[in-house]
């Protein structure tokens, strides 16, 4: 059985809803999910500290990264997690694992793509293989990817609520990642 890790930070829980939708899709496809929401008490002197989680993620076949877009990038809490993976980076412990990402911002064009680009770069530094969306907005009957970003799930919130089409996109990405793992 394949195992996928999901590491995320969320303030308003929109990211949590998107991660849960993606995770449910993965679990329904027979994938074991290791899900972790970054908490403030895991950040000590600016550094994320949770060796147990890092060890569990190293045993996963893929990792989903998710953070809201704050000021054109990942949240500081998520960045603390990223920085804590530097020892794993030196060992290339995640090399060959699949990765994908989810983000959300308040504006339709709130630079969410910059956050996904950061996550792609982070995954590539670890030698990971990025899984993009394979569905273009307006050219299919899936009803997903409403904001037209192929890199991953981009969401735009309405009054701290997740758009149903963005949740459907997260589910779609979960099925896609599970399918890729099954067929590798």
On average, the pLDDT of the chain sits at 92
What's residue 156's pLDDT? 86
Please report the pLDDT score of residue 118 as a whole number: 97
Q: Could you tell me the CA-to-CA distances from 38 to 27, 31, 87 in Å, in that order?
A: 21, 22, 19
163 has pLDDT over 90: no
Pair 93, 54: CB distance under 8 Å: no
Whole-prediction pTM: 0.94
Ordered by where they begin, the domains of the chain are 3-183 (3.40.50.360)
The whole-number average pLDDT for the span 96-116 is 89
């Amino acid at each position: 059985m394949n195992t996928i890790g999901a590491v995320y930070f969320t303030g308003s829980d929109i990211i949590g809803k998107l991660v849960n939708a993606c995770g449910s899709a993965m679990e329904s496809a027979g994938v074991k999910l290791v899900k972790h929401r970054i908490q403030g008490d895991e950040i000590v002197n600016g550094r994320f500290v949770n060796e147990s989680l890092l060890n569990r993620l190293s045993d996963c076949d893929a990792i989903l990264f998710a953070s809201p877009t704050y000021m054109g990038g990942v949240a500081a809490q998520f960045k603390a997690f990223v920085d804590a993976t530097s020892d794993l980076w030196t060992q290339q412990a995640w090399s060959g694992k699949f990765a994908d990402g989810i983000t959300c911002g308040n504006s339709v064009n709130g630079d969410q793509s910059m956050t996904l680009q950061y996550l792609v770069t982070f995954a590539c530094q670890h030698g990971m293989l990025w899984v993009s969306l394979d569905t273009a907005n307006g050219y299919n009957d899936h009803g997903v990817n409403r904001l037209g970003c192929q890199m991953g799930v981009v969401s735009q919130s309405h009054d701290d609520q997740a758009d149903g089409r963005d949740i459907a996109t997260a589910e779609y990405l979960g099925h896609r990642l599970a399918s890729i793992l099954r067929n590798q």
